[in-house]
Amino acid sequence: LDIMLDSGTALGIVSVAFHTFSGCIKGCQLLIEAADMPQNYEYLRNRLRLEELKLLDWWVVSRKETEKDVAPNDKNDAIVATLMHIQALTLDMTKIRDQYGLVLQASGYGGPQQISEDVPTELPLAGEQKAIWRKALDHAAVSWKMCPQRVRWVLFDGAKFEQLLLRFTGLNDTMLQFLQAEERRHHYKIQEETHLRVLAMHHNVGLLQQLVQALHVGATQAPPLPNKDLRRDTNTKFAKLAKLKALNMDTESSTKAHLKSNHGTAQAPVAQCIDITHISFSVEPVGRDRSAQQAVGVYSDKAVWIEWKIVDVEAMDIPFSYVVERVSRLSILLQSTEKLEELPLPICLGYILDPGLNRIGLVFEASLSTQPLVPESLHQRLQTCMKPSLSIRVAMAQKLASGLNYLHATGWLHKSLRSDNILFHGDDNNEWLSFWVSGFEYARPADPDELTEQPSSDKTHELYRHPDVQFDVPRDGPYGFRAPHDVFSLGVVLLEIAVWQPVNHFLGVSLTQRLSRAIIRKSRAQLMDDMSLSIAEAEAGHRFAEAIRLCLASEVILEQSDDVTDNGEQEHLKIGVEGNCLGDVVSILGGIDV
């Protein structure tokens, strides 16, 4: 059965399923934009937005026809029936009143109403998802003419609206049962991408608290998910990332905010400054990679390793106390990531001060071993281990890119990503996926108001740095290090993994000779030329090479804005299309099937 629209419309004929789906999207938008919701229930608006996004992702994954009906069968009938329940739940104001005691009233027929300055009203849509959303609303505009364009709450009850949302959640979970196993896995992946876009829209602790609260609605009441072994709980991971981003922002503020949890309100953790005399040090390691940066020992009967930051007090143009504060804040974030498996970060126990040698150390819990050992770096394995299989190298690249993507989602930049900062834990040289991303001596929040330290003076490290942040050249724009610079460094490491050799070997640069600026300056062009990418493609395949190219092409683009620089010019840093490619890199690598 096809439903004919008014003549002259651009949509023509649509399927019953899409007609019903468009009513669901229209209803969601009406409730999301409804005025006069009590401020303390704004988190419920967030949850409704997330359920709408989940339904949009379902339509994209299911590849349902929008312009014609498929042959009737039990599955398609059940899909339409479930969509009709969602439509009634969100669009039928009479049913909302009778079933839940919630009263809405039409308040005009203008455009979408602005809720408030801080609440993000635009859905973070991308690609096909955005096209389907737009088409659904266009169809609803001509097929649901009796619906108001805006509504306001006359009678609102938070507990009853939460019941409505839980019913919506249950129906969304029912929709997932109509997907095949591979489609459910795809839905999980694009839900992750959607969640990261949502997270990027929340720029203060208050909004992040609302987001976490929204994700916890009905968490203890929800029925078991179908095929739980195939679909992990995305909300749990999303909530952890939101909490980590809130913690990141919270540790930056001079007045500590309170972060909400499942059990009420909890204060942000305090940095643990460990007395250096409480650590029994072993002999510090020697060697080029990390001789001045690491030590091992025992603390509280635990094997630990320490990553030192050498502080050149005379050369620094920022106070020593600021560096101590930076490291202490970083230790808080690293402590909080213990249970977030997707972030390949070591477990931090705190930090120590060694003023006699002008250094500050982060103390990490070592892997189980008969004695404390300095973790072996990827840079070392590139030179001492046989090249692992392509499937292992792809899995390493996937984990590394995904981990950096999550780190950036929490508002934190690494700023020193290199193969000697990727550390394997454990004694088995055949274990390739048990690694940490370390080297946080220059990590910092992605806050344009933060002071920025100068990079280390080791010229071999410059091969991993974007040209904008090499040496002591002025940084592009007023804000120093930016996310695309991390992405460039990722591209260099991915190239090393693909061809299985350190970047200096790949470029034919000898570390025994003086490394001139001219050689370093042209390294990016060499890495991106056709010959280099062809070698990477021959070693790891076309898509792996394309991921490398995207990373190496990342840029920070300047555009005009209301911000004023020191020289009086209006200027603002914006990440351009190539510079915002990390999500694309994750998708490309994730799609490689060896």
For residue 435, the cross-strand partners are 424
Q: What letter represents residue 151's amino acid?
A: V
The per-residue pLDDT for 517 is: 81
The per-residue pLDDT for 271 is: 80
The per-residue pLDDT for 32 is: 92
Q: Please give the CATH architecture assigned to the domain spanning 2-262.
A: Up-down Bundle (1.20)
The per-residue pLDDT for 185 is: 87
Provide the terminal-to-terminal Cα distance of the chain, rounded to the nearest Å: 43
Q: Which residue ranges does the chain devote to CATH 1.20.120? A: 2-262
CATH number of the structural domain 376-594: 1.10.510.10
DSSP 101: -
**Residue 250, token pair as written in the block:** 């919270």
The per-residue pLDDT for 323 is: 77
- The C-alpha atoms of residue 363 and residue 341 are separated, in whole angstroms, by 20
pTM: 0.82
For residue 362, the cross-strand partners are 307, 351
- The C-alpha atoms of residue 242 and residue 240 are separated, in whole angstroms, by 5
Q: How many CB atoms lie within 10 A of CB 468?
A: 18
241 alpha-carbon distance from chain centroid: 8
CATH number of the structural domain 269-374: 3.30.200.20
Strand blocks (E) in 110-224: 150-155
Is 422:400 a contact under the CB 8 Å cutoff? Answer: yes
The per-residue pLDDT for 511 is: 73
The per-residue pLDDT for 549 is: 96
Q: Which residue ranges does the chain devote to CATH 1.10.510.10? A: 376-594
Is 320:354 a contact under the CB 8 Å cutoff? Answer: no
Tell me the pLDDT of the chain (594 aa) as tens digits.
333 334 334 344 568 889 999 999 999 999 999 999 999 999 999 999 999 999 999 999 997 766 666 666 788 889 999 999 999 999 998 999 999 999 999 865 544 444 343 434 567 888 888 889 989 988 888 887 677 878 999 999 999 999 999 999 999 999 999 999 889 888 988 898 899 889 988 888 888 999 999 998 877 665 555 544 444 478 888 988 998 888 888 776 643 433 344 434 345 567 889 999 899 887 565 443 444 578 888 898 888 889 888 777 666 666 777 778 878 888 888 887 656 788 888 888 999 998 878 788 999 988 765 455 778 899 999 999 999 999 999 999 999 999 999 998 888 888 889 999 999 986 666 789 989 998 875 555 555 455 555 555 567 888 998 888 877 654 434 556 788 889 999 999 999 999 999 999 999 988 777 777 888 888 999 999 999 999 999 999 999 999 999 999 988 664 544 444 444 443 444 444 344 589 889 989 998 988
Q: Which residue ranges does the chain devote to CATH 3.30.200.20? A: 269-374
